Amino acid sequence: MEVFMEAVDYLESQHIPVEGVSEPSPDPLQEDVFPEVDVFSPLQTESMDLPDTPVLRTPEEMLDRRLMVLKTMLDSEKIYLNELERLLTPMKALKATAGTSQPVLSSQQVQTVFYQVPELRDLHRDFYTGLRDRLGSLEPQAHPETVQGPGPGPGPGLGLGEGKEQSQSGYQLTVGDLFLKIVSQLVVYRGFIDNYESAVEIVRRCTQTDQRFRILAESMMSHNGSDRSKTKYTFEALLYKPLDRVTKTTLVLHDLLKHTPQQHSDHPVLQEVLRLSRSFLSGVNEGSQCKREVTLSRGMRRQLMRDGFVVDVYEGGRNLRHLFLYTDLLLCTKLKGGAQGKQAQYRFCWYLPLAGLKLRWGPEMERTTDTHHRIHAMRAKMYLLRHELRQTMKPVLQKPVLQKCLAARAIERSRWKKMEQLELMILTHSPLLPLELHSPSGKNHTLMMSSLYELEEWREAIHRLTGDNIEMVPPDLLTLTSSCVKLRMTQQPPLHSILLDEEQSLCGTLSVAVHSACGLQQPASVYVCVEVDGFEFYERHAQTHSSVSSLSPHWDQEFSFQVDGAQNLRVLCVLQPEEGESCEDRVVCKTSIQLDPGHLQKRWRRQTLSLGQVEVTLSLKYCPHPLDPPCLAPAQQQSIFCMPIGAVAQQEGVLVPHVVRFCVEEVERRGLEEVGIYRLSAATSDITNLKTAFNTSLREAVSRLRCVDVNAVSGILKLYFRELPEPLIPTELFQSFTKALDIPDLSSRSVTMLSLLQSCPSVNQNTFLFLLHHLRRVSDRQDVNKMPLMNLATVFGPSLVRPPVAVLGQCGPTVDISQEVVVQVQVVYFYLQCDNLPEAQTCIPHDTETTEEDETTNI
C-alpha cells in the first residue's frame, strides 16, 4: 500500500487530484464521459461530410472559412495534447512501482498499456507547434474577429483594403506540408490500434481486481481548452482518444480541402493527404475489431454485432428498414439518404432490449391476389429493363468490372435508377417469412425475410446474445441513432442490380436433387430447404417433404430453378416437431456454397455437403440458356387429381407422385398410433381444401398437411387413388390376378403374383410397392391403431384393383360383384403378406449419367 500511496503522491505533485481514495468502488452502471457517437467506426469515406455548410461562391469566402477550420483544428489539437499528457502522467509512477514487491502493473503491462502513446504525443506536439506558428503569422495582417467572426464576410471594422490583404495572406498560408508529415507517420497510429485491445483488456482486468489501480484509473483530470476547465476521464476513455482522432483528422481534412480554392498551392497536397488518410482508415476499418465498440458504462460495453436491411411490418404496412443488433438491444432505423455531397442520416423507429426477448419463426404468410399480380408485374418490368441494359452494356463487357459499371451507368443512368427502384419495391413486398419478436414489456414487432437462411442468421445472432444478456443500460436513442452512420457495416440494400458480377453468375436452369442426410444425433422428422440468390424474377426456394422419424432420412426429390444472376446455393436442414410437441420448426444446420458456372455441367454431378455434424447428399446440374420473361400472372400448377398417375409422375420427374409420398410420410410421422387410421373419415371440408391445395400449389399443400387432422391426410391419400382414371393395378390384369389367386401351390402363386406386378408400368409398380411397405408399417402398430393387414387390404383393395368396365354390346363372362370385391381385397392382402416384397424406387436415379466421384464440400 505504501507503493500505491507514493504513486498517488506523485500524481498530486503534478497537480492531478486523485479522488475517492477512501470511497467504495463506484456504481458499475455510471456512464462513461465520452459520448457514444465519438467512436472509431467503419466510415464510408465517400460520405465523410461534416454538417451542412453554406455554399461558398468566392475564393475570399472560402479562405475565410478555411481559416476558421484551421483555428478549430488548432483548438482541438490543444485539447488532444492535454488528453495525451494526462494519459502519460501516471506512466512514470507505474513504472516505478513495477520493480517493487507490490507492483500495480508489471513492466510488460506498463509497456503494453502505454504503447506508442509517447510517440503520438511528440508527433502531435510538433504538428500543433507548426500550425500555431503559421496561424500566428497572420495576426498582423488580420484582426482577430476576421478569423473568428461568425460569418464568411468582412467584420464591421474591416475595410476593403484590409480584406484584400487578408485574402492575399490566406493564399500565402500553407499547411499542407504539416498535414502530409503527420499522415506520413500514420504507422505510429497503426501500432497503437493493433495494440489497443490488449491495452484495454489490461486496464479492465486490473480495474476490477486491484483497488489501487481502480482509484488511479477512474480519477484522471484533463484541462479542456483555453478556459482551463477540467474534465474527469477514466483511463479507458483516455486510451480511446487516439482511435477517435484518426476519424476526426480525416473529417477535418475533407472539410479543409472543400474550403481550399483549387488555385491554392495547398490544394493538390491536401488531396493527396486526404487520399492517404482515407486509405489508412479503410484498412483499419476492415481489420480492427475494436472499431465497433462503444463504451456505455464501467464494466459494460455496447458493440455492434450485425446489421442489415429487413422489412418491418407495422399496422399492415411494409417498410424497408436498417436493423442494428447490439450486444444488449435491437435498434430499428430508417435510412434517410442525403443528397449529393451530403451525408446520409438515420431516423429512429423503435428498439427492443435483448433481455427476455423471445423469437418465433412464424408460419409463412400468404399474399393477396392483388399483391401477387403486382409483384409479378414488377418482375416483368424489371426483366425487360435488365434485358435492355444488357444490350447497352455489350460494348463495355471487356472492360474491368468497375469501369464496366461506370460506363454502363453513364450511358443508361435513368434505366439503372428505374431498375433499382423496382428491385427495392420487390425487396419490400415479396418477403413472406416472418420473424416475430416478443418483448417482456409487451412491445412486439414482426420482421419479414425473403430467405430462410437470412432469417436463421438473424435468429442465431439474436439468440446468442439473449442467452448471455443480464442487464441493459437504457441508451441515448438520439446519440445511438446518429452513430449508425459510423457504425454500420452494411451500406446498401442487397440489390443485384448494383452488386451483380455477370461473369460469375448463372443464367438458365439449375436443377437440384436432394437425396439423403446422415449424422443426426437422434431419430427425427426433418426436411431440407434449398435456396438460390439472384434476381427475383422466378421462384428462388423450395423444400422437400418431411421425412419419417429417422437417423438417415431419404428424400430423392428434384427441384428445378429458373435462375438469373444466381451466385450462391443455400441448403438448410430443418427439424419438424413430433406430434404433441408445441415447439416450432427448428433449423438444425445450414450451409452456403458458391455456384461456379465453370464447374457445373449439363449432366448430374453428385456431391455431399458437410453442414457441421450433418451431411446432405445432393446432385446438381446446370443448363445455361436465355430465359423467357416472367409471366404477368403467376404460373398455375397442373391438377394432379383425376389425372393418369404416369402423367403426374412425369410432370414431377419422380417414380412415386409427391401427393403419395407426402401423405405417407405425414401419416407415419403422427398417425401410426391413431385408432382407426385409414378407416375413420375426416371432415369433408378439410379433405376438399387439401385437394384444392394439391391441385394448385404443392408448396401450400405440404404446409397444410402439417396442421390438419391426420385423418384428413389419410383421407386425401385414399381419395387420390379412388379418383385415378386408371387404377394403380391395370384393369387388363384383373383376370390374370383372379386366376393367379386360384393357384393352389403357394410358391407358384407367389412367383406368378410377383411376375404380374413386374409387368405393371414403372410408376404404377413403384407407387404400389411404396404404399404396401407403408401399410405394413401401419399394421406393425395394430395393437394401438387397431388396423391389421386385412383391415387395410379391405380399405385400399377396391381403389387399387378394379375390374374392367363392362361395355354395352360386348359379351363376356359374368362376374359376381361380391366376387370382384373378394379379388380386390385378396390381391392387396396377398402382397401385404409377402416376405420378399421388393423395395420401391421413389425417384429416377440422378447419378447414372455421370461417372464422376462424389465431392464433399466442407463448410
Q: Residue 489 to residues 64, 145, 286, 331: CA-CA distances in angstroms? A: 37, 43, 10, 14
52 — pLDDT class (breaks 50, 70, 90): very low
687 lies in a domain?
no
DSSP class per residue in 212-233: HHHHHHT-EEEE-STT--EEEE
Burial class (CB in 10 A: 0-12, 13-18, 19+), 106: middle
Q: What is the dihedral of CA 785, 786, 788, 792, to 10 degrees?
A: -70
C-alpha to C-alpha distance for 389 and 409, rounded to whole angstroms: 9
Q: For residue 399, is pLDDT > 70? A: no
Q: Which residues pair with 586 in a beta bridge?
A: 575
pLDDT > 90: percent of the chain: 26
Burial class (CB in 10 A: 0-12, 13-18, 19+), 835: exposed
The pLDDT tens digits of the residues spanning 607-616 come to: 999 888 899 9
Q: What is the pLDDT of residue 223?
A: 55
146 lies in a domain?
no
544 shares its domain with 616: yes
The pLDDT tens digits of the residues spanning 215-248 come to: 777 667 655 555 555 666 778 778 888 877 877 7
Mean pLDDT, range 187-211, rounded to an integer? 83
9 — pLDDT class (breaks 50, 70, 90): low
φ and ψ at 858, to 5 degrees? Answer: -95, 120
At 586, list the grid cell: 427448428
**Residue 338 CB contacts under 8 Å (≥ 6 apart), including other chains:** 47, 49, 344, 345
7 shares its domain with 119: yes
Q: How many other CB atoms are there within 10 angstroms of residue 744's CB atom?
A: 6
73 shares its domain with 13: yes
587 lies in a domain?
yes
546 — pLDDT class (breaks 50, 70, 90): confident
The pLDDT tens digits of the residues spanning 786-838 come to: 999 999 999 999 999 998 875 434 444 555 566 788 899 999 999 999 988 89
289 shares its domain with 304: no
C-alpha to C-alpha distance for 95 and 111, rounded to whole angstroms: 9
Give whichever of 63-67, 452-456, 583-587, 653-657 has the largest mean pLDDT. Answer: 452-456
Q: What is the pLDDT of residue 740?
A: 92
Q: What is the pLDDT of residue 297?
A: 43
C-alpha to C-alpha distance for 447 and 432, rounded to whole angstroms: 10
799 lies in a domain?
no
At 6, list the grid cell: 507514493
C-alpha to C-alpha distance for 480 and 492, rounded to whole angstroms: 20
CA angle 812, 813, 816 (to 5 degrees): 130
Domain boundary among 264, 297, 330: 297
C-alpha to C-alpha distance for 676 and 787, rounded to whole angstroms: 6
Contact 380, 372 (CB under 8 A): no
207 lies in a domain?
yes
Say how many domains are in the chain: 3
In this structure, of 174-178, 251-255, 721-725, 788-792, the range with the lowest mean pLDDT score is 251-255
Q: What is the pLDDT of residue 853?
A: 46
- The DSSP bridge pattern shows strands 568-576 and 554-566 to be unpaired
Q: For residue 730, is pLDDT > 90? A: yes
CATH code (residue 290): 1.20.900.10
Q: For the chain, what is the mean pLDDT?
A: 78
Mean pLDDT, range 395-400, rounded to an integer? 52
The pLDDT tens digits of the residues spanning 74-118 come to: 988 888 898 888 888 888 888 888 878 778 888 888 888 888 899
Contact 645, 602 (CB under 8 A): no
Q: How many other CB atoms are there within 10 angstroms of residue 657's CB atom?
A: 24
Phi-psi domain of 143 (left: phi exceeds 0; alpha: psi -120 through 50; beta: other): beta
319 shares its domain with 245: no
Contact 274, 250 (CB under 8 A): yes
Q: For residue 356, is pLDDT > 80? A: yes
Q: Residue 82 to residues 87, 89, 132, 221: CA-CA distances in angstroms? A: 9, 10, 15, 10
Nearest to 530 by CA among 586, 451, 602: 451
Q: Which residues pair with 350 in a beta bridge?
A: 332
Mean pLDDT, range 474-488, rounded to an integer? 79
Q: Which residue has the cell 480495474?
A: 207
382 shares its domain with 318: yes
Q: Report the sign of the C-alpha dihedral through residues 593, 596, 602, 606, in that order.
A: negative
- Helices of type H across 517-657: 645-652
Q: For residue 56, is pLDDT > 80? A: no
Give whichever of 87-101, 295-309, 737-751 has the largest mean pLDDT. Answer: 737-751
Q: What is the pLDDT of residue 298?
A: 44
DSSP H/E element including 246: helix 235-258
844 lies in a domain?
no
Q: For residue 345, is pLDDT > 70? A: yes
**Residue 55 CB contacts under 8 Å (≥ 6 apart), including other chains:** none
C-alpha to C-alpha distance for 48 and 343, rounded to whole angstroms: 7
Q: Which domain holds residue 537?
A: 500-633
Length of the chain: 859
| DSSP conformation class of 452 | H
C-alpha to C-alpha distance for 568 and 532, rounded to whole angstroms: 6
343 shares its domain with 486: yes
Q: Which residue has the cell 434505366?
A: 415
Mean pLDDT, range 345-362, rounded to an integer? 87
C-alpha to C-alpha distance for 806 and 817, rounded to whole angstroms: 12
Nearest to 513 by CA among 849, 37, 749: 849
C-alpha to C-alpha distance for 575 and 790, rounded to whole angstroms: 35
Q: What is the pLDDT of residue 267?
A: 87
Nearest to 729 by CA among 776, 772, 775, 768: 768
CATH code (residue 535): 2.60.40.150
CATH code (residue 466): 2.30.29.30
Contact 570, 550 (CB under 8 A): no
Q: Residue 94 to residues 205, 207, 217, 237: CA-CA distances in angstroms? A: 16, 14, 11, 18
Q: What is the pLDDT of residue 660?
A: 94
C-alpha to C-alpha distance for 60 and 163, rounded to whole angstroms: 8
343 shares its domain with 226: no
335 shares its domain with 383: yes
More confident residue, 297 or 529: 529
585 shares its domain with 471: no
Proportion of the chain in helix, strand, coil states, percent, rounded to 5:
50, 20, 35
258 lies in a domain?
yes
Domain boundary among 443, 471, 495: 495
330 shares its domain with 409: yes
C-alpha to C-alpha distance for 246 and 432, rounded to whole angstroms: 43
DSSP class per residue in 582-599: -PPPEEEEEEEEE--TTT
At 234, list the grid cell: 477514466
> How many CA atoms are closer than 13 Å to the CA of 441, on its beta-carbon side?
8
217 shares its domain with 361: no
Give whichever of 338-352, 381-395, 763-777 has the largest mean pLDDT. Answer: 763-777
CA angle 618, 623, 628 (to 5 degrees): 120
| DSSP conformation class of 530 | E
Domain boundary among 267, 297, 327: 297
- The DSSP bridge pattern shows strands 568-576 and 433-438 to be unpaired
**Residue 719 CB contacts under 8 Å (≥ 6 apart), including other chains:** 641, 687, 691
Give whichever of 45-54, 194-203, 648-657, 708-717 has the largest mean pLDDT. Answer: 708-717
The H helix count followed by the E strand count for the chain is: 29, 19
833 lies in a domain?
no
DSSP class per residue in 687-753: HHHHHHHHHH-HHHHHHHHTTS-HHHHHHHHHHHHHT-SS-SB-GGGHHHHHHHHT-S-HHHHHHHH
Burial class (CB in 10 A: 0-12, 13-18, 19+), 266: buried
